[in-house]
Amino acid sequence: MRMFYGGAFKFTKATVLAVILASTTLLTSCQEALQAPSSNARKDAISGDFYYTGNGLIYENNPIIASGNYNLARPSMGDYVTAKHVTDEPSLETKCSYNSSETSDECFKVLNDTSTTSVLQANNGGWDYGVGTDEFYQINTFYHVNKLLKRFYEALESGNSNIHFSGSNLVPPSSKYGIENTLSFWLAKGLRDPNDFNNILGVENSTLKVYSKCYLDPFNAFYSPSENKVCLGWNDNSSFLYAAQDPSVIYHEMGHVLVKVMMNQRNISYNMPSYHVTPFQSDLGSLFYDEAGAINEGLSDWFSYFITGRTHFGEWALCRFFDASRALTEDDPIHNGMVSKASGERLSYPEYLYYDPNNPDSKSEDVHYAGQIVSHYLTSLTEELKSTCSASHTDAGNMVLGVVNETLAELGDMTGKGSDVFDEFIRGNDVNFGAFFTNLNNQQSYLWGHQVNPPNFRKFFQTLAKNITYHITNKSCIQFTKDKSETLLDEYGLLLFKTYGENKKGVKLTDLGGGVIQKADTTYQDAFNDFFTNCSNTTFIYPIDNYCPLGTNTTVNESNRRNSVLIAKEFLEYPEDRDGVSPAYIVDERSSIEQLLANLLYEGKPVQTSEGSAGVEYNNNNIKISPGEIVGINLNLFNNSNSTMGGVHILANDWDHMRMDDLSSTYVNRVENRNAAKDIANWSPCQIDGWPSVDEGGIPSDGQSPGNCDYITRDNFVIELDGTNNQKYAQDASQPVCLVQHSSENETQWVSQDFHRRSELGLEASQCLNPPGYSGDDFNPNECLVRFLPGADQAVLGKINPQKSWAQTLTDNSETGLTIQQNAVTLLEVNKRIRPGTTFNCRLRARFSNCSDCFEDPDTGEEYADYEMVGERPFKVINFKFTVVD
């Protein structure tokens, strides 16, 4: 590994693995050659035919479970089939229904492979196709997809009925009441007027395509949320083996589909006769490693258990030949001797984030490994509900699904409301117009819900714990007390919060007329008081009217926190001066950057680089940041505490860290504003942790008035039009992270990029980065010289061991042989017109999931409101300083 020493800057060359590991099932392991139980092979005798019965032969269980033989090899597969009702439809496609509402179109269809266009037709009203044929696997796939969906809708009706009619009314429901009206019980989208994006003509369901013989080498299975397709793998290396032979694998992939459905249920609203549909959809997890993706994998593993009741999945298709199935309980023989159900020996967070049961010493950032913590917790929760409340597997499954659904509804919400109770569109009044409680507001919800404050282990389990307390402990299983729930979470290291955060704190924008919007903090209780005077309204005309807020946050019983460790953010360090630790890894090799760029999407679209001003053609692979390059940067953060940090999240997106010099000069520095003699804004850096000094241009603490450094924007608006197409900044506009050092008259100051490009370089807007934007309204000259690319302006480091750097955590302390995945890299564009020798300081923000003061105000114990996530307080600010050199 070559090191580069240049002044104070010591960066290291990095090797990058830019392969995307999508939501595939493989990648963890299983124990082969388990002791075979006594044979209980099922051989349903098939006699007669299936004409006009809708019946067919299927595998009810995978061949290993059906045979009881864990060493089964190339069996006579016909031994394990059973006759079942498949469908009365004439072909292998069907609508789905929820609460007597039907999907607008087929909800899913089964096809053989990706080149197949026609769906298998019934044979005289039955499904009598020979065992082992392609048709047989299509039928088997259809049967199990349908079985899972029927069970899911049964549980959803039970869960929703509990939450909306008999659940606690102390928290507003997030799950959608009346999803039959919005069709959002299945992959649904708005039909938009081609001439007017905001005009929703109606809503329709997408058809999921499930391929039962998807050619995949290496053998695998996956769900693609962008294409709405499930691929169940097959290839000609082991042509007898189909992923479709193993129903538990089908349930796992379909689990991903259901997660997407639940995440998006709130994103369509209906009030006769019109629909509201949010512009963006939610996914749980990005393309690269993150905690949201790990939660998605854990939930999908749990869906297999939800149907089969077995605490292991993929015994046949994943385990038997590939060592790649997964357990859902600590009792499973796959685990080594360190893991058990005893207190302190469970798969706890964050220690087990990199845990591969078959190779306990290996370490890698993978959503499937990390997701095992989630699946083991959810399985234990289900088992405890069974034993505590003598619940059947079905009833316990309904309870867990109900609170999972409630949780995902809240996390995936892109309306900013979090509940229909406060949605003026649904309620038909405007009392709560402009009041927002989750993911900041309806315009920034994608940025907040998926980047600034995405679901991590803390956010997911805090929301789930709230829903367990209100809807299980208070209602459906009283014996599963709050203490029991907190104790179980703590066994998994997941008691990462101090309150349940139920009294959401958001912002209310009130139009005072004359173009003046008043922005006030508001809570769920404040919003409730705006339209109800008391809680006497208990009539169930519309269930949401029954909401009666508590007004305070429930606190966690601290004596239940024994294994979950919270660490102050000050212990997270940028290791500029630590021996043996590289502060940052730099990638400026052309082909690596090309690969990283090829994978890059933002808001579902490819990211445009600044053609003409920067591009990979300038990349010179000298481990320096040079003019014109696109550079990958990995900050190798150091954990200076004595406990493990999990889910370290680094943000390089815009935030509110600068102040306008003159609040009456608000226009963006562009030719048309200058021609119109508008007052052009200049921005100066606010002091953060005392930097920059006043002599160097820093603005010290200046009090809580709008426009000041101490005041944080409530809406995160950046640039607006003044009504005549002239761009102007919002008063507290969030600004790009990188400042530039500027020298004049023997003074050295830290200034905005716009100031430097104008007074030092004389660059026009068209010579700035983001040239596609320079004539549009997303142009900000404060990122003219260097900018982090959208979609690559954040990084996730899975965990950092105590007194180690992240790279040391992954490499047994040496940092040699480190391979960096895309999740850990941000991409920086460097304008070719920068003079070598120019120094920048980028103020990145970082925090982690088990942080004691990143999510709650340490003084008051209150959860930070969403708007505060555009400021400094919830984060450790990292000054990433570099000099551009040839």
Query: 106 or 297: whose CB is closer to Zn ion?
Result: 297
Residues comprising the chain, all counted: 886
- Position 439: which residue type? N
CB of 363 to Zn ion, least distance (A): 20
d(CA 68, CA 271): 54
Give SS3 for 505. strand
Q: Find out whether 185 and 156 touch, Cβ atoms under 8 Å.
A: yes
The piece of 105-113, 298-306, 415-423, 701-709 that touches Zn ion (CB under 5 A) is 298-306
Query: 300 or 487: whose CB is closer to Zn ion?
Result: 300
CB of 104 to Zn ion, least distance (A): 28
User: How is residue 137 written in tokens?
Assistant: 């696997």
User: How is residue 723 written in tokens?
Assistant: 């009504």
Q: Does 28 bind Zn ion (CB under 5 A)?
A: no
CB of 22 to Zn ion, least distance (A): 9
Query: 28 or 300: whose CB is closer to Zn ion?
Result: 300
CB of 355 to Zn ion, least distance (A): 17
The piece of 19-27, 115-123, 164-172, 839-847 that touches Zn ion (CB under 5 A) is 19-27
Query: 23 or 267: whose CB is closer to Zn ion?
Result: 23
Query: 300 or 439: whose CB is closer to Zn ion?
Result: 300
| Residues paired with 522 in a beta bridge | 506
CB of 221 to Zn ion, least distance (A): 8
Radius of gyration from C-alpha coordinates of the chain: 28
Q: Are strands 572-573 and 638-639 parallel, antiparallel or unpaired?
A: antiparallel
CB of 296 to Zn ion, least distance (A): 7
CB of 226 to Zn ion, least distance (A): 15
d(CA 559, CA 458): 19
Query: 335 or 368: whose CB is closer to Zn ion?
Result: 368
Interface pick for Zn ion out of 23, 245, 325, 405 (rule CB under 5 A): 23
Q: Which residue is nearest to Zn ion (CB)?
A: 23
CB of 846 to Zn ion, least distance (A): 28
Measured on CA atoms in the order 568, 574, 579, 581, is the torsion positive or negative? positive
Q: Binding mask 494-533 vs Zn ion (x if CB under 5 A, - otherwise)? A: ----------------------------------------
b/e code 381-398 from CB counts within 10 Å (16+ = b):
bbbbbbebbebebebbbb
Q: Find out whether 69 and 119 touch, Cβ atoms under 8 Å.
A: no
Which residue, 626, 560, 537, is CA-closest to 589?
626
CB of 298 to Zn ion, least distance (A): 9
CB of 325 to Zn ion, least distance (A): 12
- For residue 736, how many other CB atoms are within 10 A of its CB? 29
Phi, psi of 434 (to 5 degrees): 80, 5
Q: Find out whether 787 and 828 touch, Cβ atoms under 8 Å.
A: yes
Residues in CB range of 551: below 8 A, 6 or more apart: 503, 523, 525
The piece of 21-29, 71-79, 723-731, 783-791 that touches Zn ion (CB under 5 A) is 21-29
Query: 300 or 467: whose CB is closer to Zn ion?
Result: 300
Q: Which of residues 268-297 bind Zn ion (CB under 5 A)?
A: 297
The CA-atom distances, in angstroms, between 222 and each of 117, 300, 317, 423, 764 are 20, 12, 13, 36, 48
Q: Which of residues 300-329 bind Zn ion (CB under 5 A)?
A: 300
The piece of 134-142, 299-307, 413-421, 741-749 that touches Zn ion (CB under 5 A) is 299-307
Q: Which of residues 79-118 bind Zn ion (CB under 5 A)?
A: none
Check residue 680 and report its DSSP letter: B
Query: 225 or 628: whose CB is closer to Zn ion?
Result: 225
CB of 252 to Zn ion, least distance (A): 6
Q: Binding mask 751-790 vs Zn ion (x if CB under 5 A, - otherwise)? A: ----------------------------------------
Query: 249 or 631: whose CB is closer to Zn ion?
Result: 249
CA dihedral of residues 88, 92, 93, 98 (deg, nearest 10): 50
Query: 243 or 751: whose CB is closer to Zn ion?
Result: 243
- For residue 193, how many other CB atoms are within 10 A of its CB? 11
d(CA 502, CA 483): 18
Query: 300 or 308: whose CB is closer to Zn ion?
Result: 300
Q: Find out whether 377 and 384 touch, Cβ atoms under 8 Å.
A: no
Kindly state the number of chain residues that form the binding site for Zn ion, as judged by CB under 5 A: 3
Query: 296 or 741: whose CB is closer to Zn ion?
Result: 296
CB of 23 to Zn ion, least distance (A): 4
The footprint of Zn ion (CB under 5 A) covers: 23, 297, 300
